[in-house]
Every structure is written in structure tokens, then in C-alpha cells.
A and B are shown apart, each in its own frame.
Chain A
Amino acid sequence: MQLSKKNKGRVGATLCLITANLFTVTGLHAQDITDSTNNPSAQDSAESLNVYDQPASTPGTTTIDSAVLFYKEDGGRIQAIEPMVSLTHNTENDSVFSAKLTFDSLTGATPNGAAPWKSSQIFTSPTRQANGDDENEGSTGASGGTIVIDPITGQRTLEYTADAFMLPLDSGFVDQRTALDLGFTTPLTSGTKLSLGLNGSHERDYNSFSGRASIAQDFNNKTTTLSLGVNYEHDVSKPFFGTPTPFSVMSGDQKGPSQNKNVLSLIAGVTQVMTRNWLLQFNYSYGSVTGYQTDPYKILSVVDPTTGAPQTYLYESRPEKRTRHAFYAGSKLALGSYVTDLSARYYHDSWGINSITANMSEHIPIGDLMYIEPGVRYYHQSAADFFTYYLPSNVALPLYASADSRLDSFNAITLSLSGGYMINDQIELYAMVDAYRQSKAGQKDTLPGNNQDLKLYAGTNALSMMTGVKVKF
């Protein structure tokens, strides 16, 4: 043992010297050896590869990806099943065509914005039949509501009840969404890349259309990439009962016409290759939203200022303008087949929401054909300026108010695990599961009066799972 230790690397070290000498003598400088093999450590100079080290796209190939996502919120809230299929074609001259079709089916209950109370609360909303809409879907007790017919006018309304002490949920939530996205990326000149895209989605009560364009330019021997992008989106909100007038009293009456929203987004980014194993990315995005941004299904409780008892329910009201700014920084560090991803994002908008997101994930190769990627994400946001759990009846109405839990202040943690397995050169199976847990950030508000046991915070926990298969040919 002593002997072999003493001799360790003896042959290799001597060889190294005499080889360098050989090439000096024969007219090529020894320096070339070290220059052209910039890291002589054996581990670095050759390593067994995990198949996931390969780039995702290879010229002249077409990839079909199909997956299905299951999403389930705790407490019998929203459930969704989302199958999707996409097709990506990489041409020989480095252009990429992509098309993705997604179908969502959502059912379940969602908080309607009203505060809980010590006795049961009845909420009245229009029925679908009043609009001559689909007979089967808004009418049955399956959604938890009851059709009430006014014996005099014959008007049909939907009533649903929230149990005492429970957060009121609108349980008639059924929707399907179909979305199509088309993308095209092509190199313009060496180092310049243009991307164009179109997206459209259709729901029974919501249509969205958007177009995007971006340009990316490589600099410094492709170590720096600057990109600029623009996206324009036009949305139409058209609930079957129309769009309610802000702060009008919740009722079974038909409401106003459909409403539009336009979103203009600009993004500027820089990607910098720091070393051959390390990549940094920064971007800034600006968004300007104008038009109807109110949620037509959300209401607020108007409560007695001393007892907290609900007196009436008003439809919510949100500003018609929203300006958003987001800064993003990310780092990607590769050590062999291991890739560590770290990123942070700061967001601010004119509604007063500030948020930070911190994300970390680690890509871990397993054997030659598999990987797993555990990840954790932390998110914190402050509440919108006009967010409130209720409106006291003795105070004049503000300009805007919403009790939508998505505008509340909260923290969220997402734990995720994804993984993939290459069955062969062409077929990959992959799966993802993530658990999302939300909690109120900051002080927990209560209703006026002695109502500490009524929980106003409506945040949710959710679990999603996805599984898919990619076929490349």
C-alpha cells in the first residue's frame, strides 16, 4: 500500500512532461496543450453523460408533447383537469414552429367574497336558464344552489346558502376553457432571433386573444443575449348574466353588457453566460392594463359596524387601470449533469400590490436516463390598496373595494418534484407534482363585534399533478 501510494501518478506526471516537450521540439508549443485543454482535471475532461444533458431541441426534429394536469384545491374548492397537446418543429435552418392546444375543465366552489357569519347566509344570483343558456348546467342542486321562481313575475333566480361560521363559497362553478397557442421563432441574421406568437382562449364567460413579438440579439461571442418583447392582449368578459354595475346590490337580475380589457406588456431582458457552467438572466417587464378588471362573480358583505352582522351584499369594484412592473433575476449553475436554478422576482403594481418570489430547484441526474428535480418556491404579496374583507355600513362607499382573496396579503410556499425518464432516443415520460400552501401575511383582521372565531382569510391550499409523454421524431 505504501509503495503504490508513493508511485501514485508517477507515469502520468512524467508522460505529461515528455509529451509537452515532444510538441515543443516538433514545432508546436507546449503552451498549446494547456491552452486547448483548459481544464486538465480528469473528471472534467470526460464525464459520463446523463441523457438530459442534451439540448431539448435538435434541428430537423418534430416533438409531440401530450400531458394532463390535475389540480385540486383543499376543502372541496376548485378542481381542474387539463389535458394539453403540443407540437414543436425545429427546422434544419434553426426556425421553430410550435402549436399548443389546451383544454381545461373546472368544477367546484370558489369564495364569493362575502364574510362568514354566525348564522347561515343566503345569496341570490341569476340562473343560466333566465338567459336561455344551457339547461343542465346552472340549474341542478349539484351546484348547491336552488332555483327560486317568483310566483308573480315568474323570474327565476338561483339561491345558495353558506352555512353558519363557514366562508361563503359560490359552488356553481363549472367552466371549460379551450386555448390555442401558435409560435414561430426564426433567426434573422447570425445572432438575431425573431419570435412571433398568437394565443386565443375561449371560455363560456371569457374570451382572450393575444399577439406577441420579441427579438433577441446575441453579443460578445454569444455570451450576452439582449431581448425585447411586446405582447398585446384583448379580453372580453361576458358572464351569462352580464356584468354587474360596481357596488350594485347582489340580485338575480340580469346585468349589463359584456366588458373588455386590454393589456399591453413590454419586456426587456439580458442573459449573460458568466462561465461555461453559469448563466445569469435579468429582465424587466412593464404592463399596462385598461378596461374591465372587476370580477363579476365577486361580492362584498356590508356589515353592521358594531355587531359585524351582514346587512347586504354588493358587487365589487376595481379600478379600470393597472400598471405593473416586475424585475426578475435568475441564475443557472451547472455542475456536470446537476443544474441549480435560483431566481428572484420583485413585482409592484399601481393597485398597491408588492410581491416577491424566490425560487430554487435542483436538477439531479439519476443513472443515464432519468432525472428528478425537487424545487421550492416562496411567494409573498402585500394586499391591494382597496382590498377589504367587508364594508361597514356606516361609512361612505370607497371608490373601489374587493374582498377577492387573490388581492389579500399572503405568503405561499410551493414544494415541487418533477422528473423524467427517456425510454429511448425518441420517447420521454415525465411527471410533476406540486403542493401549494397559502397563509395570511401580517395581521389577521376580524369582523366588528366579538367575532374572533370567524375566519376572514380565504386563501387556499392546492395540489397539482401532471404527467405527460414527449415523442420526438
Chain B
Amino acid sequence: MTFFLPVMAGPKGFIKPMHKKRKPVSHLFMAMNSPCDIQVDGDDVHLARELGALAEAEAHRIEAKYSRYQENSQLSQVNRSNGTPVEVDTEMMALLTYANSCYELSDGLFDITSGVLRRIWRFDGSDKLPAEAEIEALMPLIGWDKVTLGKNVVTLKPGMEIDFGGLGKEYAVDRVLMLLAEKTDSPILVNFGGDLRVSGPRRDGSPWRIAIESVEPDDPSAATLGIKSGAITTSGDARRFLLKGGVRYSHILNPRTGRPVIGAPRSITVAARTCMEAGIISTLAMAKGPDAERFLRDEEMAAWVLR
């Protein structure tokens, strides 16, 4: 007859959510050619704004230093060196050393000198493939093994270029997350154009919900991932390809052949502890082409492959 204190009473009185959901405070900006989103799950809006500004500054710092498009970037100095040794700071050196390890670890499939291939491969959905001669002309400029790393000095062969495209954004996400996590205990999500990392579960213990287009493209309602810790990155882009003679050329290039990877999935989404790890694994899986799934299985990674 009486509905008595339904929140607390009775054996059936448990309600499912532990705490009612608040929307995290979101800070949006553009960096590295991507929409960036910093979410802080806390009540302190001022702190959230402060953290957002800090994140934005860090993202722009990394972009200004490692972008190959910005003439004044430290990377551009390296790329313009034309064979002369360039002195780099500790951070750049650490990133180059990291890239070196990835190159060795992947038997040359991950190579930050392969960016020059983009001069001739333009993945615009058309059937315009580069000529054999064009590819052959570029191959001498590709190969991390041609790079010499010294103590705070890097030397490229003339004409070679380094591209942090497969590393920079992931590095920025991890750095920003760790920077912010030093400032607050509130749960944080850092999302730079789909490469993202969280500091932990949300305040109420629930996962962050993230829409990932590439997980289930045919079923929009299922295209949501929950993430309570770690990072997620996606490699591949279903809209960037070349199509000639019935062959679909993915925009993932094999640095060893100078040609697109044949049989690569359309996209691979990987979850790992850090954005860098997730990013490298998803890039490598892509480069494995038809063996992408087996590679991910052997690495025991949580991954979603879209073919």
C-alpha cells in the first residue's frame, strides 16, 4: 500500500547506478590537424578549464616542435639538414630512440623515414597509381637504417625526411594525460582525433563511453566502446584508398616495398595501456596485411578489426 523510501528500502530496493551521472567538463580545441577533446569528470569547472588550457598548450608545444609542416619546427631543421649532423634536445632524442626501437622490433615495418612516399602516393579514392620509376627513385631516401643516431645528434642522408605522423599525436595524448593526472585526481579523458587515453574509470566507477565509428560501421548503436583505463587508437581510414583494376590500395604503405600493404584491413582499433603502444601495435597490425588478426591474437591485444 505504501511506497516507502524506494531508494533504500527492501530487498529489491537497490538501484543500479551508484551515483547519478554528471557530464564531464569538456575542453575542445584543434591541434595536429585533429579535433582535440579534454574531459575532466569533476565538479570544479575552473580546474577543468585550467587543465584544458594546460593540455592545449602542451599539444601546441609538441606540434610546433615535431610537425614536418611547420618550417620552424625542430623536426623541419632536421629534415632540412641535407646530410649534416643536427643537435637535438633530450625529448627529440628520446623519441628518435623510441622510433629506432620500433623499427628494430618490427623488422622495418615501422619506419619514420617512409613519409616521403606520400609525395607520390595520394589516396584520394582515384585510380592514379604512381609509376614504377617514381617509386624506385624514392626508395633510396627510405630506411631508418640509413639514419645515424649519436649522443644528442642525428644525421640523415641527404634528401631523407623524418615524419612523426605515426607517433606524434599518440605521444601528445600520453604526455597530456600524464601532465594533467599530476594536477588532479579527477578522472580525465584525452582524445586527439580518436586517439585517446583515460586516467581511470569515471567517478562513479563506470567506463568512459566513446563512439568509435570503425568498430561496427553498420550498426551505429553498437559503435560505442567503454574504456575504464588505458588507451585506444585506430589505424586506417575507410575513406582513404586507391582503386585500380579491382584492387583496393590501402593508404598504409610498406616502407620496405614503397607500396601500399595488400590485404590490409580497412581499420584496426587497438586498446593498450598507453596511446603510443596502442598506436604502434595498430600500425604494425595494418602493415601485416592479411595477417593482421593473427598478429593481434598472438600479441594478445584487445582489438577490433574492420575489413
Interface residues of A (CB under 8 A from B): 4, 7-12, 14-16, 18-19, 21-23, 25-28, 32-40, 42-49, 51, 53-59, 90, 94, 100, 179, 181, 190, 195, 197, 199, 201, 206, 208, 210, 212, 214, 216, 218, 222, 227, 229, 231, 233, 235, 263, 265, 267, 269, 271, 273, 276-277, 279, 281, 283, 285, 328, 330, 332, 339, 341, 343, 345, 357, 359, 368-369, 377, 424-425
Q: Is the CB of B273 within 8 A of A267?
A: no
Q: Known contacts A45-B230, A283-B9, A369-B221; can you find 7 more A-B pairs with CB under 8 A?
A: A10-B299, A19-B276, A37-B230, A37-B274, A51-B221, A227-B8, A271-B18
Q: Is the CB of A46 within 8 A of B20?
A: no
Shortest Cβ distance from residue B212 to the other chain A in the assembled complex, whole angstroms: 10
| Docked CA distance A185–B47 (Å) | 28
Q: Is the CB of B91 within 8 A of A26?
A: yes
Q: Is the CB of B207 within 8 A of A49?
A: yes
Q: Is the CB of B14 within 8 A of A281?
A: yes
Determine whether B225 belongs to the interface, using a CB cutoff of 8 Å to chain A: yes
Q: Is the CB of A40 within 8 A of B230?
A: yes
Q: Which of B23, B98, B206 lies in contact with A53, CB distance below 8 A? A: B206
Note all chain B residues with C-beta closer than 8 A to A214: 5, 7-8
Shortest Cβ distance from residue B98 to the other chain A in the assembled complex, whole angstroms: 5
| Docked CA distance A285–B13 (Å) | 13
| Docked CA distance A36–B43 (Å) | 20
- Given A46-B302, A208-B1, verify A38-B19 contact (CB < 8 Å): no
Give the dominant DSSP class at A's interface: mixed
Q: Is the CB of B4 within 8 A of A231?
A: yes
Determine whether B35 belongs to the interface, using a CB cutoff of 8 Å to chain A: no
Determine whether B105 belongs to the interface, using a CB cutoff of 8 Å to chain A: yes
Q: Is the CB of B299 within 8 A of A8?
A: yes
Note all chain A residues with C-beta closer than 8 A to B43: 190
Shortest Cβ distance from residue B110 to the other chain A in the assembled complex, whole angstroms: 10
Interface residues of B (CB under 8 A from A): 1-5, 7-23, 43, 90-91, 93-95, 97-98, 101-102, 105-106, 171, 174-175, 177-179, 181-182, 197, 199-201, 203-207, 209, 221-222, 224-232, 271-274, 276-277, 280-281, 284, 294, 298-302
- Given A18-B101, A46-B302, A267-B8, verify A55-B276 contact (CB < 8 Å): no
- Given A9-B298, A37-B230, verify A231-B273 contact (CB < 8 Å): no
Shortest Cβ distance from residue B5 to the other chain A in the assembled complex, whole angstroms: 5
- Given A14-B105, A15-B277, A330-B11, verify A25-B94 contact (CB < 8 Å): yes
Query: Whose C-beta in chain A lies nearest to the C-beta of B43?
Result: A190
| Docked CA distance A32–B200 (Å) | 12
Q: Is the CB of A222 within 8 A of B19?
A: yes
Shortest Cβ distance from residue B109 to the other chain A in the assembled complex, whole angstroms: 10
| Docked CA distance A462–B9 (Å) | 23
Q: Which of A45, A235, A279, A328 lies in contact with B228, CB distance below 8 A? A: A45
Query: Whose C-beta in chain B lies nearest to the C-beta of A424?
Result: B221
Q: Is the CB of A4 within 8 A of B298?
A: yes
Of the A-B pairs whose beta carbons lie under 8 Å apart in the complex, a sample of 15, sorted by A's number, is: A19-B273, A22-B97, A23-B174, A25-B91, A37-B200, A37-B231, A45-B231, A46-B228, A47-B226, A55-B204, A57-B20, A59-B21, A94-B22, A277-B205, A343-B11
Q: Is the CB of A199 within 8 A of B2?
A: yes
Query: Whose C-beta in chain A lies nearest to the C-beta of B271?
Result: A46
Query: Whose C-beta in chain A lies nearest to the C-beta of B21?
Result: A55
Note all chain A residues with C-beta closer than 8 A to B179: 28
Q: Which of B10, B93, B226, B271 lies in contact with A42, CB distance below 8 A? A: B271
| Docked CA distance A141–B127 (Å) | 87
Note all chain A residues with C-beta closer than 8 A to B19: 218, 222
Report which residue of B1, B15, B232 has the largest number of chain A beta carbons within 10 angstroms of its beta carbon.
B1
Q: Is the CB of A48 within 8 A of B299?
A: no
Note all chain B residues with C-beta closer than 8 A to A424: 221
Note all chain B residues with C-beta closer than 8 A to A271: 18
Note all chain A residues with C-beta closer than 8 A to B17: 55-57
Q: Is the CB of B95 within 8 A of A22?
A: yes
| Docked CA distance A13–B82 (Å) | 36
Q: Which of A8, A48, A227 lies in contact with B225, CB distance below 8 A? A: A48
Report which residue of B8, B200, B201 has the largest number of chain A beta carbons within 10 angstroms of its beta carbon.
B8
Q: Is the CB of A8 within 8 A of B101?
A: no
Q: Is the CB of A279 within 8 A of B18?
A: yes
Q: Is the CB of A33 within 8 A of B273?
A: yes
| Docked CA distance A383–B37 (Å) | 63
Q: Which of B175, B207, B271, B272 lies in contact with A26, CB distance below 8 A? A: B175
Shortest Cβ distance from residue B55 to the other chain A in the assembled complex, whole angstroms: 14
Q: Which of A4, A9, A11, A42 lies in contact with B106, CB distance below 8 A? A: A11
Note all chain B residues with C-beta closer than 8 A to A55: 16-17, 20-21, 204, 206
| Docked CA distance A300–B222 (Å) | 61
Query: Whose C-beta in chain B lies nearest to the C-beta of A277?
Result: B205
Shortest Cβ distance from residue A23 to the other chain B in the assembled complex, whole angstroms: 7
Q: Is the CB of B7 within 8 A of A15?
A: no
Report which residue of B199, B205, B281 has the largest number of chain A beta carbons within 10 angstroms of its beta carbon.
B205
Note all chain B residues with C-beta closer than 8 A to A23: 174-175, 178
| Docked CA distance A23–B197 (Å) | 15
Note all chain B residues with C-beta closer than 8 A to A45: 227-231, 271-273, 302
Q: Is the CB of A328 within 8 A of B232?
A: no
Shortest Cβ distance from residue A34 to the other chain B in the assembled complex, whole angstroms: 8
Shortest Cβ distance from residue A279 to the other chain B in the assembled complex, whole angstroms: 6
- Given A9-B299, A208-B2, verify A37-B273 contact (CB < 8 Å): yes
Q: Is the CB of A368 within 8 A of B175?
A: no
Note all chain A residues with C-beta closer than 8 A to B300: 8-9, 12, 42
Query: Whose C-beta in chain A lies nearest to the C-beta of B188?
Result: A36
Q: Is the CB of B175 within 8 A of A28?
A: yes
Report which residue of A37, A206, A281, A328 has the largest number of chain B beta carbons within 10 angstroms of its beta carbon.
A37
Query: Whose C-beta in chain A lies nearest to the C-beta of B20?
Result: A57
Shortest Cβ distance from residue B151 to the other chain A in the assembled complex, whole angstroms: 13
Note all chain B residues with C-beta closer than 8 A to A16: 273, 277
Q: Is the CB of A12 within 8 A of B299?
A: yes
Note all chain B residues with C-beta closer than 8 A to A269: 8
| Docked CA distance A212–B2 (Å) | 10
Q: Is the CB of B9 within 8 A of A4?
A: no
Q: Which of A21, A212, A273 lies in contact with B205, CB distance below 8 A? A: A273
Q: Which of B21, B271, B284 lies in contact with A11, CB distance below 8 A? A: B284
Q: Which of B11, B171, B225, B272 lies in contact with A12, CB distance below 8 A? A: B272
Q: Is the CB of B200 within 8 A of A181?
A: no
Note all chain A residues with C-beta closer than 8 A to B277: 12, 15-16, 19
